[in-house]
Amino acid sequence: MEKYALIVGASGGIGSSIAEKISKDGYHVILHYHKNKDLIEQLQKKLDMSTKSKCQIVQADLSHQNGVNELVNQINVNISSIVYVSGQSTVGLVTDLTSEEIDQMTQLHIKSLIQLNNYYLPEMVRRKEGNIIVISSIWGQIGASCEVLYSTTKGAQNAYVMALAKEVAPSNIRVNAVAPGAIETKMLNYFSEEDRKALSDDIPIGRLGTPNEVANTVSFLLSDYSSYITGQILGVNGGWHTS
């Protein structure tokens, strides 16, 4: 039976690595992006050349309230798995945030996540099959100064995952989150080399993580190897700041 996975935020470093990994696992993939059209088209070409998976591109801005409708209206296949990677951070004092920034971050990380899953959950329940994975963050577990709003929305994602998992488990639907620590992506570009070295030294395993390590974790959570795992926030952080 063909399996389709919707990857929300597939153009970033983690999203593209997830797309590559689960395509090799046998999933057909729907690749969502917002702005990075060139990157998503390059990813599609790469997947077409290296895997037998079908690949569709969809575009939508999920930081706006009509974004989910724009996304789902482009898809006409049954989705068996959703991997919600989309996210952005704002760095600065929480008191400097504008109402617009708060609304956009809340919409992107919380409201659109709930609205998207609510669209696909009834069919998953009917089929008694489904898998939802949210890429949250270590900051959703322990909080970060100067990233208070980001930490808040990621913490909300973690709470959502734990609660939803209990609600849909009787329908054989599993819901989990992956909470990356410091991963080698563009989100760390504002760090100087000195800061990156200090950050690596602060991580018990002694280095930054890679997008592939997050992708491998998602692959595991989508597989039958994790058939008894649901409602979990799985840290991929090299042991960094876990206590």
49-102 pLDDT per residue, tens:
888 889 999 999 999 999 999 999 999 999 999 999 987 777 878 788 899 999
Residue with tokens 């990380």: 109
pLDDT, averaged across the chain: 93
pLDDT of residue 201: 87
* Sole residue written with tokens 């989150």: 177
Residue 86 has a pLDDT of 87
The number of domains in the chain is 1
Give domain status of residue 241, yes or no.
no
Q: Which domain holds residue 165?
A: 4-236
Q: Tell me the pLDDT band of 193, cut-offs 50, 70 and 90.
A: confident
Q: Lowest mean pLDDT: which of 12-16, 39-43, 187-191? A: 187-191
The verdict on residue 243 lying in a domain is: no
Residue 242 lies in a domain: no
The domain that holds 135 is classified in CATH as 3.40.50.720
pLDDT of residue 187: 67
Residue 154: per-residue pLDDT: 96
- Top-confidence residue, 116 or 195: 116
The whole-model pTM stands at 0.94
Kindly list the catalytic residues: 150
Whether 180 is in a domain gets the answer yes
pLDDT of residue 15: 96
**Least confident range of 18-27, 102-111, 149-158, 198-207:** 198-207
* Residue 186 located in a structural domain: yes
Flag whether pLDDT at 11 surpasses 80.
yes
d(CA 170, CA 191): 45
Task: Look at 190 and 74; give whichever has higher pLDDT.
Answer: 74
Q: Which of 28-37, 47-56, 142-151, 181-190: highest mean pLDDT? A: 28-37
**How far is it, in rounded angstroms, from Cα 217 to Cα 226?**
10
Mean pLDDT of 17-40: 96
